[in-house]
A and B are shown apart, each in its own frame.
Chain A
């Protein structure tokens, strides 16, 4: 049964585990003759290898377990532990082989120099959780499923460029790209492989049993779910990579952050994830005995997105003045307890493409007033500035219920009033806020946290490309309706280039232009406060992913 290739794990520690796997397989296949080994002894030894449990507290409930169906961040915490991509991405942004033996690059011949031909060699001996071998057919099935019109696919961008998928052998697959598309490697790094033999057997793939009892190749197997309460995963002893040392992982759904924190304090949960610990609890949490609290930067950047088609925002002077009149430091230091990272760009500071040399914003009401005066915006009725019949008055919206953000909003409202700008707050329920109101650019301005990147890739055409505005018939998230020919040109260039150094030059320049144009007023880069019991080893964030319980198989209890 278990004939894994041992090449990667020469560690003798793994031997008992394989024996346990054997025993498990035999027990699973009840009725098969029991080989006269020493199963009980093997069992005891195996327990020493993967034992105990860890409880991860989540403030949202994972509910989508088919990684290719529309889902939200929290679901990916489950995906990462059950499934594998062909290759993953490390916190430092390097691709690491997973189901592929090596990461395809131009250098190793995996990708042709023009970026059109892809060849991927797959790991041998990998098995799905149900014991069926993983082959190139599964990869082909996965890539085709994502673009299958029958399938309710969460995201097709990039995959729709794939053509002529050829299974060369069970461990090798080739395909052709319609055009060179550098971000595709990043996209593939969180494209999880799903089993063909399970999904193709389902009558309706959109409602397949798989969707609520996923089968993957990852370090953990699906065990059970109590909807609305928790999900349990069990260590996969047949995993080809680093074997999990913790046997049972429980994702506990605790919708209230106060309760979540209380349970972290009392030790009912071992790790906090998602919204985790609120900034106001940071000081206290740091002082807790036997708890470790870390501040993990994430790629999401908080900004005030401006709808540039609104007459108020067409004048760059207005955008500059607004930016100057934000007391960023107070917002960050007081409301966010200094735990988030001030930023001038959309690019996370940990990215290789981050531009650290952008001009720093400084809170300056006088300067802002001067800019507006010079631009001809004169105070009118109620002290609100106006010019050519346009009043500097607009609404600002965000998701109702995001406490700290609402506080920041009200704080900005006050400082902007000081420069004769009236901002009315009109917050909306999430379903309303992020529906047409956002997607079709029906807002004036919005406070929003966006991860502008495609995985670790610096491509941001979706957000800043002039053809990405839905309200103008484009496809993308450029809801600010930003349009700059130079940026368009640079972004197209950056996406087609495969060379990192060349790309970097392009994106540094993009950041410069956007800092100058200010289609959105960058506030800060988010960090998440994460707490875990100090005995837990191996916990680490990954800025290139949307959620951190991504490497639970490397966790262990001291």
Chain B
């Protein structure tokens, strides 16, 4: 077990170095930079911009900057935001809860709905429901998330006025109900794609299981249909889904980014976009690294969970 984790961590280190290098090089070699936002300030000149860049350490050789940044990662110093000077980790930590709330709610919803749709589609293969679910999932995967969000805002906020067009809560309210009404649209939009993905995979995982001998055994035992479905079919069909869930993290994270931008959700996606706009390199790098770590941890967790959920798998 520890050997396995060490291996995974070793792989992850490679991934992290690669991601950070790519990000760092792209950011620093591209024209423009964090100074340009001040260019139109009154009395600004190139000399002043150069002085500030110098003070921020941006004039040193790129490799020096990279190595300093990278080695400091390990002592928990991810640098300071160019914008508000706060440590990058606490900037990210400040935006993380909103993203987790959105992602978590959407993921739970997608897993529940997706599992249901997928299992039902597999059980009633080729039925009207199955056909509709299959076609529906394909269309859902094809709808641009951000556009779907726009249409939802137009319909439910601007036109009907039922739901807020953005934000996470109303200032001064912040009750549970208030959070809930703000969550509905972004969660629905984010969940749409995830339900589609999850139900498609769940359907094929269920089809793989449903014709297996042990399901027949369970039926031969005279178990109620529901019990056969839950304890034998779904329980086993979910096993490959754990790994899949791990692999889906980048997609969900990417989806959250898109959703946050449309619904002005104050999470990591929003932070990322703002940081791009202001060339806040430390925060951009921080988010890149953080997402990579999140994905890697998610995969690791998924592997460990499979080990727990599937007695045949012993990680070694």
CB atoms of A and B under 8 A apart anywhere in the complex? Answer: yes
> Given A211-B85, A228-B271, A477–B44 Cβ distance below 8 Å?
yes
**Cα-based distance from A468 to B42 in the complex (angstroms):** 13
Whether, in the assembled complex, A219 has its beta carbon less than 8 Å from a beta carbon of chain B, the answer is no
Partner of B36, one of A151, A227, A432: A432
Q: Give the interface SS of chain B, mostly helix, strand, loop or mixed.
A: loop
Q: Are B37 and A431 in contact (CB under 8 A)?
A: yes
User: Which A residues lie within 8 Å of B32 (CB)?
Assistant: 428-437
| 0/1 interface trace, chain A 44-67, chain B, CB 8 Å (1 if under) | 000000000101000001011110
Partner of A64, one of B48, B83, B153: B83
| 0/1 interface trace, chain A 464-486, chain B, CB 8 Å (1 if under) | 00001010001111000000000
Q: Are A475 and B48 in contact (CB under 8 A)?
A: yes
**Cα-based distance from A187 to B81 in the complex (angstroms):** 28
Whether, in the assembled complex, B40 has its beta carbon less than 8 Å from a beta carbon of chain A, the answer is yes
> Given A255-B270, A263-B167, A433-B32, A454–B45 Cβ distance below 8 Å?
no
Counting chain A CB atoms within 10 Å of each CB, the highest count among B42, B91, B153 belongs to: B42
Whether, in the assembled complex, A212 has its beta carbon less than 8 Å from a beta carbon of chain B, the answer is yes
**Cα-based distance from A476 to B46 in the complex (angstroms):** 7
Within 8 A of A (CB), among B17-41: 30-41
Whether, in the assembled complex, A158 has its beta carbon less than 8 Å from a beta carbon of chain B, the answer is yes
Within 8 A of B (CB), among A262-283: 262-263, 266, 268
User: Which A residues lie within 8 Å of B95 (CB)?
Assistant: 227-228
Q: Are A454 and B43 in contact (CB under 8 A)?
A: yes
Whether, in the assembled complex, B86 has its beta carbon less than 8 Å from a beta carbon of chain A, the answer is yes
Within 8 A of B (CB), among A424-464: 428-440, 448-451, 453-455, 462
**Cα-based distance from A453 to B81 in the complex (angstroms):** 30
User: Which B residues lie within 8 Å of A455 (CB)?
Assistant: 42
Q: Are B45 and A470 in contact (CB under 8 A)?
A: yes
From B95, which residue of chain A is reached at the shortest CB distance?
A228
Q: How far is the CB of A150 from chain B (nearest CB, A)?
A: 8
Q: Are A206 and B45 in contact (CB under 8 A)?
A: no
Number of A-B contacts (CB under 8 A): 173
| 0/1 interface trace, chain B 149-168, chain A, CB 8 Å (1 if under) | 00001000110010011111
Q: Are A229 and B168 in contact (CB under 8 A)?
A: yes
Whether, in the assembled complex, A504 has its beta carbon less than 8 Å from a beta carbon of chain B, the answer is no
Q: Are A70 and B38 in contact (CB under 8 A)?
A: yes
User: Which B residues lie within 8 Å of A474 (CB)?
Assistant: 45
User: Which B residues lie within 8 Å of A450 (CB)?
Assistant: 40
> Given A227-B84, A433-B36, A434-B39, A439–B31 Cβ distance below 8 Å?
no
Whether, in the assembled complex, A252 has its beta carbon less than 8 Å from a beta carbon of chain B, the answer is yes
> Given A227-B94, A227-B95, A431-B37, A256–B166 Cβ distance below 8 Å?
yes
User: Which A residues lie within 8 Å of B98 (CB)?
Assistant: 228
Q: How far is the CB of B56 from chain A (nearest CB, A)?
A: 7
Whether, in the assembled complex, A258 has its beta carbon less than 8 Å from a beta carbon of chain B, the answer is yes
Whether, in the assembled complex, A24 has its beta carbon less than 8 Å from a beta carbon of chain B, the answer is no
Partner of A448, one of B38, B40, B165, B166: B40
Q: Are B43 and A430 in contact (CB under 8 A)?
A: no
> Given A255-B264, A259-B166, A462–B40 Cβ distance below 8 Å?
no
> Given A228-B270, A433-B36, A476–B45 Cβ distance below 8 Å?
yes
Range for the number of chain A residues in contact with chain B: 35 or more
User: Which B residues lie within 8 Å of A468 (CB)?
Assistant: 45
User: Which B residues lie within 8 Å of A435 (CB)?
Assistant: 31-33, 35-36, 39
Whether, in the assembled complex, A207 has its beta carbon less than 8 Å from a beta carbon of chain B, the answer is yes
Partner of B52, one of A152, A252, A436, A476: A152
From B94, which residue of chain A is reached at the shortest CB distance?
A227
User: Which A residues lie within 8 Å of B263 (CB)?
Assistant: 259
> Given A228-B95, A252-B171, A439–B84 Cβ distance below 8 Å?
no
**Cα-based distance from A65 to B272 in the complex (angstroms):** 21
| 0/1 interface trace, chain B 246-272, chain A, CB 8 Å (1 if under) | 000000000000000001101100110
Q: Are A250 and B171 in contact (CB under 8 A)?
A: yes
Partner of B46, one of A258, A429, A475: A475
Whether, in the assembled complex, A176 has its beta carbon less than 8 Å from a beta carbon of chain B, the answer is no
Whether, in the assembled complex, A254 has its beta carbon less than 8 Å from a beta carbon of chain B, the answer is yes
> Given A435-B31, A475-B47, A152–B56 Cβ distance below 8 Å?
yes
> Given A64-B84, A227-B84, A255-B274, A156–B48 Cβ distance below 8 Å?
yes
User: Which A residues lie within 8 Å of B166 (CB)?
Assistant: 254, 256, 259, 262-263
Whether, in the assembled complex, A226 has its beta carbon less than 8 Å from a beta carbon of chain B, the answer is yes
The 7 closest A-B pairs by CB, nearest first: A435-B32, A470-B46, A431-B32, A434-B36, A259-B166, A432-B32, A434-B39
Q: Other CB < 8 Å A-B pairs besides A154-B52, A157-B45, A432-B31, 10 of them? A: A65-B84, A207-B85, A256-B165, A256-B264, A262-B166, A430-B36, A431-B36, A435-B32, A435-B35, A449-B40
A-side residues, CB < 8 A to B, are: 53, 55, 61, 63-66, 69-72, 150-158, 187, 206-207, 211-212, 226-230, 250, 252-256, 258-259, 262-263, 266, 268, 428-440, 448-451, 453-455, 462, 468, 470, 474-477
17 chain-A/chain-B pairs, Cβ below 8 angstroms: A63-B83, A65-B84, A66-B85, A211-B84, A227-B91, A258-B153, A259-B167, A262-B158, A428-B32, A430-B36, A430-B37, A430-B277, A431-B32, A432-B36, A450-B40, A454-B43, A462-B43
